[in-house]
């Protein structure tokens, strides 16, 4: 099963869901504001793709928290990401054991196959 993680009011998420809908892809959407991931779920994703891939360092939440230019350990960054899951780069898509991060229609096509 294809799972798309994000927040409903994000333009990239709206575009992603529209793209999948147009192709009649079978997916489920998880709104991270309403259903945040457990530490274990987040840790599993981090172990597959890494914190650097998952954390959106250009996003609004990163700026709001004043994290630019600060030295943050991986443990601290993981804790922040778990607490503020809107910092996750969107879309975050999983299919079985595979994980895809970011909006790229060509990659969506390959990911579905």
Report the share of the chain in percent with pLDDT over 90. 95
CATH topology of domain 2-112: Glutaredoxin (3.40.30)
* Residue position matching structure tokens 């994703």: 45
The ranges assigned to domains in the chain are 2-112
Asked if residue 112 has pLDDT above 90, the reply is no
Give 25-78 pLDDT, tens digit per residue: 999 999 999 999 999 999 999 999 999 999 999 999 999 999 988 999 999 999
pLDDT at position 44: 97
Q: What is the pTM of this model?
A: 0.93
Higher pLDDT: 113 or 14? It is 14
């Amino acid at each position: 099963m294809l799972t798309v993680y994000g927040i409903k009011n994000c333009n990239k998420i709206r575009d992603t869901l529209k793209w999948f809908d147009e192709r009649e892809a079978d997916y489920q959407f998880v709104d991270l504001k309403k259903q945040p991931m457990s530490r274990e779920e987040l840790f599993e994703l981090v172990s597959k793709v890494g914190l650097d891939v998952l954390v959106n360092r250009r996003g609004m939440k990163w700026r709001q928290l004043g994290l630019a230019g600060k030295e943050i350990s991986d443990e601290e960054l993981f804790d922040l990401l778990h607490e503020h899951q809107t910092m996750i780069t969107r879309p975050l898509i999983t299919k079985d054991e595979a994980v895809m991060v970011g909006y790229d229609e060509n990659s969506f096509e390959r990911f579905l196959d």
